[in-house]
Structure 1
Amino acid sequence: MGGFETVSSTNAVALDFARKGDPGNLWIVGQRQTGGRGRRGRPWVSEPGNLYASLLLIDPADPVRLAQLPLVAALALADAVDRMCGTHRLVRLKWPNDLLVDGAKISGILLEAAVLADGRRAVACGFGLNLSHHPELPDYAAADLAGLGYRVTAESGFAALAESVSLQLDRWRNEPFSGILADWISRATGIGNPIRVRLSQDELHGTFVGLDEEGRLLLRGEDGSMTTISAGDVFF
């Protein structure tokens, strides 16, 4: 594990290690990030007191399976929250990898991949968990574990995260994805309800039907047509 007081972003540091030849399975943990990022390059507030950690993976699976990783990561973090808080199913999941408590977002997960000079594929799985404070977000309600009544240190939070990620990655590598998908769906919020999905160039409206066998969102339009969505921001 690499621990840093201040980093640009734990994902960026992890990918730098990959480019220098690191074999992977390396955790990068920062007390503070100066350039933390969310999806679509949005800034992620990263002041001390919360958990910021990235796991570097090298060639973790066949490239066609990498689209499953966001759901694996979200399930691992949800299980980790229960471990660190002593709770049972405290967290609900919003597709693809947001963690909600009473409808408020408590985390950010960002996966970034790069093909290295020697042809290996590096994947940085970045986790940000609101332990002691939370940002004010324009599109979502946000919360932190301390404000919800759970006092968790970054050290104990990371230990729980590392254990949960290891267990879920083992499942993903060695068992059918259907088991992880079923566990994710059992924590899901919004299935059967109207949603809108913001894509990079468009916004779709319809009913959240569920997920397909690869974890992609199924959206039924008002005309009954079905759209399969691989990436997007969901709003209820």
Structure 2
Amino acid sequence: MSDWPQGYGLHVLQEVDSTLNEAARIASSAQGPVWIMAHNQTAARGRRGRAWANPQGNLAATLLMRPQGNPEQAALRSFVAALALFDACVAVTGRASGFSLKWPNDVLLNGGKLAGILLESTGQANQVTHLAIGIGVNLSQAPGADKVEPDALRPVSLLSETGTNVTPEDFLSELAVAYAKYETQFSIYGFEPIRAAWLSRAARLGEVISARTTASETVGTFETVDAGGNLVLNTARGRVSIPAADVYF
């Protein structure tokens, strides 16, 4: 097991409504970045308020931190977290094959959804005061197909796809170390090295994908992610930059 990164706290709870909710409750008293992990969540949530299934033995954790900068800069930490998840998966399985990153915030394994990331922040005067990075990883069990929306990727677990049996605590240890490394890189060198590393692990780069919002759908070739973290598609009407959407392929 890796050593816990210096300067990061750890709170482990047996049960909580949501680690994101717990982060909001302790934000005013937190002295530095802290990981919050729960063995059971009773009201877990994903993007756009969707329910997040969290079977026993999976990882449910949130990193609470006080970043420097505006909301746009804070949002780029979804890419930092994705890289850390990728590295943690490689560390516990001893293999990199099969893992990829799906814009904006999923980790895939053998084409199925293994993990998701959700960012929530508070702030004032265009400055983020607190950032919570919620992370869920299907370590031992994948939710059933009835727990995901139509057209979504099939959920998979680390255990079923690789045979690796790892506890949430041990996985979080690897994740925390990897995150601290990339956070330091991001703080010193900015987004560009993070962007390049993310693109080297990106799913369906150079292929035709669909980006959907509640109002529209854009289909095009996944060309890149730009300096602002936006998805760039090459479409029939030219290059289109998309700041937020759900991606399907």
Alpha carbons 1:61, 1:173 under 8 Å: kept: no
Report the counterpart of residue 12 of structure 2 in structure 1: 3
Pair 233,107 (structure 1): closer, same or farther in 2 beyond 3 Å: same
Q: How does 1:1-236 map to 2 (within 5 A)?
A: 1-18=10-27, 20-115=28-123, 121-135=129-143, 136=145, 137-138=148-149, 139-148=152-161, 149-223=163-237, 225-236=238-249
Pair 199,120 (structure 1): closer, same or farther in 2 beyond 3 Å: closer
Pair 211,62 (structure 1): closer, same or farther in 2 beyond 3 Å: same
CA–CA distance in 2 between the matches of 1:181 and 1:89?
20
- The unaligned stretches of length 5 or more in structure 1 are none
Q: Note the aligned Cα RMSD (angstroms).
A: 1.8
Alpha carbons 1:107, 1:129 under 8 Å: kept: yes
Shift of 1:3: 1.0
TM-score, normalisation: structure 2: 0.88
Alpha carbons 1:195, 1:206 under 8 Å: kept: yes
Pair 89,72 (structure 1): closer, same or farther in 2 beyond 3 Å: farther
Deviation string for 1:54-78 (max 9, x for gaps)? 1101134444412311111111111
Deviation string for 1:171-227 (max 9, x for gaps)? 11011321111110110111121111111322222221111122211012223x221
Alpha carbons 1:93, 1:189 under 8 Å: kept: yes
Alpha carbons 1:15, 1:123 under 8 Å: kept: no
Q: Segments of 4+ in structure 1 off by > 4 A?
A: none
CA–CA distance in 1 between the matches of 2:111 and 2:48?
22
- Identity over the aligned pairs, expressed in percent? 37
Deviation string for 1:125-152 (max 9, x for gaps)? 1111101101122321110011011111
CA–CA distance in 1 between the matches of 2:58 and 2:211?
29
Alpha carbons 2:70, 2:128 under 8 Å: kept: no
TM-score, normalisation: structure 1: 0.93
Deviation string for 1:4-54 (max 9, x for gaps)? 111111111011101x33233011100011111111010001122101111
Q: SS where residue 33 of structure 1 aligns?
A: coil
CA–CA distance in 1 between the matches of 2:190 and 2:63?
22
Alpha carbons 1:104, 1:141 under 8 Å: kept: yes
Decide which moves more: 197-206 or 162-171: 197-206
- The unaligned stretches of length 5 or more in structure 2 are 1-9
Pair 120,191 (structure 1): closer, same or farther in 2 beyond 3 Å: closer
- What is the count of residue pairs matched by the alignment? 233
Q: SS where residue 70 of structure 1 aligns?
A: helix
Alpha carbons 2:211, 2:245 under 8 Å: kept: yes
CA–CA distance in 2 between the matches of 1:108 and 1:233?
12
Alpha carbons 1:89, 1:187 under 8 Å: kept: no
Q: SS where residue 6 of structure 1 aligns?
A: coil
Matched AA of 2:198: W
